[in-house]
A = this chain, B = another copy of it.
Amino acid sequence: MIVVMKSHASEADIQAVIRMVEDLEYSAHVIRGVERTVVACVGEERGEAHSLQHLESVSGVERVMPVLRSFKLASREVRPEGSRIIVGGVEIGGPRITVIAGPCAVESDTQVNGAADGVKSAGAHLLRGGAYKPRTSPYTFQGMEDEGLVLLENAGRRVGLPVVTEIMDAHDIELVAEHADMLQVGARNAQNFSLLRRLGKIKKPVLLKRGMATKIEEFLMAAEYILSAGNPNVVLCERGIRTFETATRNTLDLNAVPLLKEWTHLPVLVDPSHGTGVWSLVTPMALASIAAGADGLLIEVHPDPLKALSDGPQQLKPKRFAALMAALKPVALAVGRTL
Contacts A65-B65, A221-B138, A254-B285 known; A215 to B245 CB distance under 8 Å? yes
A11 at the interface (CB under 8 A from B): no
Of the candidates B137, B259, B262, the one whose C-beta lies within 8 Å of that of A221 is B137
> Scoring A residues 1 to 26 as 1 if CB is less than 8 Å from chain B, else 0, what string do you get?
01010011000000000001000000
This chain: how many copies in the complex?
4
- Return the chain B residue nearest A281 by Cβ: B258
**A283 closest partner in B (C-beta):** B258
Task: Give chain B nearest CB distance to A234 CB in angstroms.
Answer: 13
A216 shortest CB reach to chain B, Å: 5
B245 touches A140 (CB 8 A): no
Count the A residues whose beta carbon is within 8 Å of the partner chain — how many? 113
> A247: which B residues are within 8 A, CB to CB?
215-217, 259
Contact check, B312 vs A53: say whether CB atoms are below 8 A apart: yes
Residues A308 and B77 in contact in the complex (CB < 8 Å), given A213-B244, A284-B293: no
Say yes or no: A258 contacts B284, CB within 8 Å: yes
Find A334's partner among B55, B211, B251, B331 (CB 8 Å cutoff): B331
B-binding segment of A42-50, A86-94, A157-165: A42-50
